[in-house]
Amino acid sequence: MKSSGDCEIDGNADIYGIGIRLGLYAQSVTTLFVTLFVQEEEAVNRTINLLLQLAIFAGTLLSTHEGTIHAFEVIIVFWMLVGALSSLTVSCVTDINFFTGTCRLLFYAALSAYGCWFFFVGQDTMQGTPSLLS
């Protein structure tokens, strides 16, 4: 039974709902297996990783622009995006001669810029985190 002091936090399922989390977990396991056993398919796997990361980051940017995101949700997104495996080898990960290498470099530059903005300015402009201790 809920008392008047309890509060609920309705998280954004489009950012870190069960489908997104399962997708990230499956992608991490797939990356591990591809890197260990089928290295010739690593480039395709890195591209799929990048597309998933871009989708999550785009959702975060949209929610930030609309003002519908809490600071703690952005921290969760950072954990998901920075923790994602690109591959276990360094081949083609940072090579900007490949289109996906350039895209990955641009993605991490944009994520870093957003992170700097968030930690220095953005978190103070976002919705307040509901108090769980009342």
- Look up the pTM and report it: 0.73
- What are 29-82's pLDDT values in tens digits? 888 888 788 878 777 877 888 888 888 888 888 888 888 888 888 888 888 777
Instruction: Give the start-to-end residue ranges of the domains of the chain.
Output: 15-124
Q: Where are the alpha helices (DSSP H) in the chain?
A: 13-16, 18-37, 42-66, 71-83, 99-117, 123-125
Residue 94 predicted with pLDDT over 60: no
Distance CA 14, CA 23 (A): 12
Query: What's 121's DSSP letter?
Result: I
Quick one: angle between helices 71-83 and 18-37, nearest 10? 20
